[in-house]
Chains A and B, each alone.
Chain A
Amino acid sequence: MSVFVDRSSRVIIQGFTGQHATFHAEEAMSFGTRIVGGVTPGKGGTTHLGLPVFNSVAEAVEETGADVSGIFVPPALATDSLLEAAEAGVAVAVIIADGVPVQDMVRTKRYLSGRSTRIIGPNSPGIITPGACKVGIMPSHIYLSGRVGVVSRSGTLNYEAVSQMTGLGLGQSTCVGIGGDPVNGTDFRTVLQAFEADDDTDVVVMIGEIGGQQEVEAAAWAAQYMSKPLVAFIAGVSAPRGRRMGHAGAVISGESDTATAKLDAIERLGHRVVRNPADIGDTVLRATKELGGHGGGA
């Protein structure tokens, strides 16, 4: 088990024949991901990387039985591709693009409410279940199969945390990058719920950022309903107010939005917080040891 994607996931890539999509599809395949084809409108009927290319997601799903889609199309077209994937009945759709107009996502989320497609992103590094499936752009070699669930907004901060853990022999069950945008498909709480329900996850790490209250709300849910230990880090303690720190979602607009305010709130809820990003690995190790020492590499 794991969350959202596993060894049995059948993955298609939208925007398959593009340069980045090609590079990352090859990477994912060498990692063991079962990619079954791709979609590039107008190139249906050809093959790419030895796999069939389709004109539409519906055709690809029909022919290959795909249930996961990695969307590697430019930001202006990303929500259209997402809706096409959802209409075709894909269970998990991952949007990598950074730069999707926020009101596009507002409308898209409304359209998809009540449907079962799980959206990861946009502005996401993707999702990876080490040893089984990768849909995204993360460097595969830093991941180690294990029992720590990781959910983050940022890609590179996810890599930083994972490499600290892997260096200590702490493997990961699944790492979910929910993306750095203010309006995103899957929030922290939903991922925590999935990790709580996952038999292969013992400890969960949540890596948030300044802006909004999603992390605090997720931590409040966890305080009440989660049996597994939660370790949280919020980036941006030293960020100024009112400035967009790279990610569209990372802006401090009120007192409760600051990293310190969010860390304090999460700590008051009884969770472990990390104040220095260099200490994420060590803190997870301590949380794991208190559970009785299992939680390392599988």
Chain B
Amino acid sequence: MNIHEYQAKALLRHYRVTTPRGEVVYTAKAAARVAEELGGSRWVVKAQIHAGGRGKAGGVRIGGSPQEVAEIADRMLGSTLVTEQTGPAGQLVSRLLIERAARIEREFYLSLVVDRDAQRIVVIASAEGGVDIEDVAQRDPDAIHREEVDPGVGLLDFQCRKVATAIGLGSRTTSFTRLLKRMYRLFRDKDCLLLEINPFIEAEDGELVALDAKMTFDDNALFRQGAVAELRDFEEEDPKEVDASGHGLNYIALDGNVGCIVNGAGLAMGTMDAIAHHGGRPANFLDVGGGASPEKIANAFRIVLKDPNVTAILVNIFAGINRCDWIAEGVVRASRDQAIAAPVIVRLTGTNVEEGRRILLDSGLSLIQAEDLDDAAAKAVAAAGASA
């Protein structure tokens, strides 16, 4: 789960990490008022959307007067911001963060992440801040410093000093150590997967300030992070994905035309790959999970069909703890609930497969039966192309 920058900064301040002074606003009038209250001569207006790449897309602007801040805010609010991470549809801007502009001496990159390869929490730091860290990694891998944290003892002071020295903050080790250890505590307390400050800056007065903040939380830990879970902003998510998660389905919208209904995350990805191998493009990833009831399958159809690009639907079920008869009943129920114009290709195998096939046959529905994964993918791609 992701949260907004202003929410992440509030959490950081709670852990006594310095951020610029600012406030979130929903109207241009409030933007001017906040600028007035913050004082100073320059303010940053930052669109609050979850996707990155805001700066390049015009979602971060500087105003030189409260009047100008209001004008910028007026243009930004209600606009759709298209960044390299939003996809072509973009994301509606409905709230802004107004901050007093900081006087920057130097910029750095600093993040904490649960690293799959290390199987631990890792600190990543670079003297090259404010730019895309992936670009830095590609251009100059030596400019990135990594420090693994032993979960038995936590992040140690000497490790912080090492990182500080590596990124050219050797003269500021005390304040840097304080900053990094506070970030680590936040990361650990709140079950983060990522806490990225890009950039954090050394201000003209020498203070270390988190100028931006991005936080991702472990969905698996939200059951014990009630306050964090409340920060979820459904407006930032695809409504189909929100609908799906409400029914225990894992759905991710893609941009192809073959709708997919599959059990298991691995097989769902494998099915997408088989479709791609046959020259088609999947419209979505959808994992119905284990023990899928007929109702769940019917909901899966409803959600997949909300996507207007879908011209064929492939149901691929390898039933282990699932039951083919339930899946078949779900297919029948879905076609009773709504008219399905797109051809439906069904591949059923595993537990109770004979009963499942019989239910489909008896239903009189015109379904395309497939023998195996390859057959299913080939037929789905052909059907999607033919009906497109």
A and B: bona fide binding partners = yes
Residues on B lying within 8 angstroms of A by beta carbon are: 85, 114, 116-117, 119-121, 134, 137-138, 150-152, 188, 191, 193, 218-221, 223-224, 250, 252, 254, 262-277, 281-282, 285, 287, 290, 318-321, 349-351, 372-374, 377
CA distance A99 to B374 in the complex (A): 31
Q: Please tell me which one of the listed residues B114, B270, B319 contacts residue A102 in the complex, with CB atoms under 8 A apart.
A: B114
A207-B266, A235-B269, A245-B269 are known; give 8 further A-B pairs, CB within 8 A: A102-B191, A102-B218, A160-B373, A235-B266, A236-B273, A237-B273, A250-B265, A278-B372
Task: Determine if B116 and A238 form an interchain contact, defined as CB atoms under 8 angstroms apart.
Answer: no
Q: Is the CB of B223 within 8 A of A239?
A: no
The reply to whether B285 and A245 contact each other, CB–CB distance below 8 Å, is: yes
CB pair B266–A180 under 8 Å, yes or no, is yes
- Given the known inter-chain contacts A103-B218, A157-B270, A246-B250, please indicate yes or no for A183 contacting B119, CB distance below 8 A: yes
Which residue of chain B has the shortest Cβ distance to A159 in the bound complex? B318
B residues less than 8 Å from A20 (CB atoms): 321
Partner-binding segment picked from A7-15, A61-69, A135-143: A135-143
Q: Please give, as numbers and ranges, the residues of chain A lying within 8 Å of B272 by CB-CB distance.
A: 236-239
Judge whether A245 and B252 touch: CB under 8 Å. yes
* Interface pair B117/A213, CB less than 8 Å apart: yes
Chain A residues contacting B269 (CB-CB under 8 Å) are 154, 157, 209-210, 235-236, 238-239, 245-246, 250
In the complex, which residues of chain A have a beta carbon less than 8 angstroms from the beta carbon of B290? 137
CA distance A277 to B223 in the complex (A): 35
Q: Which residues of B contact A214 (CB under 8 A)?
A: 116-117
Residues of B within 8 A of A2 (CB): none
CB neighbors of B among A206-248 (8 A) = 207, 209-214, 217, 233, 235-240, 242-248
Partner of A235, one of B137, B273, B377: B273
Contact A155/B151 with A239-B269, A254-B137, A277-B270 known, Cβ cut-off 8 Å? no
Partner of A156, one of B188, B281, B282, B318: B318
Give bound CA distance, A235 to B277, whole Å: 12
Contacts of A104 in B (CB 8 A): 221
Q: Is A169 an interface residue (CB 8 A)?
A: no
- Residues of chain B within 8 A (CB-CB) of A249 are 116
Output the nearest chain A residue to B121 by Cβ-Cβ distance. A106
* Residue in chain A with minimal CB distance to B276: A238
Tell me if B320 and A138 are in contact (CB < 8 A): yes
Residues of A contacting B321 with CB < 8 Å?
20, 137
Cβ contact within 8 Å between B264 and A154: yes
Contact of A243 with B252 in the complex, beta carbons under 8 Å: yes
Judging by beta carbons under 8 Å apart, are A248 and B273 in contact? no
- Cβ-closest 5 pairs across A and B: A154-B266, A246-B265, A156-B264, A278-B374, A157-B266
Asked if A278 and B252 sit within 8 Å, CB to CB, the answer is no
A286 sits at the interface (CB 8 A): no
With most chain A CB atoms within 10 A of its CB, the pick from B85, B264, B276, B319 is B264
Are A152 and B266 neighbours in the complex by a CB distance under 8 Å? yes
Q: Mark A37-78, 1 if CB is under 8 A from B, else 0.
A: 000000000000000000000000000000000000001100
Pick from A100, A160, A213: contact of B220, CB below 8 A: A100
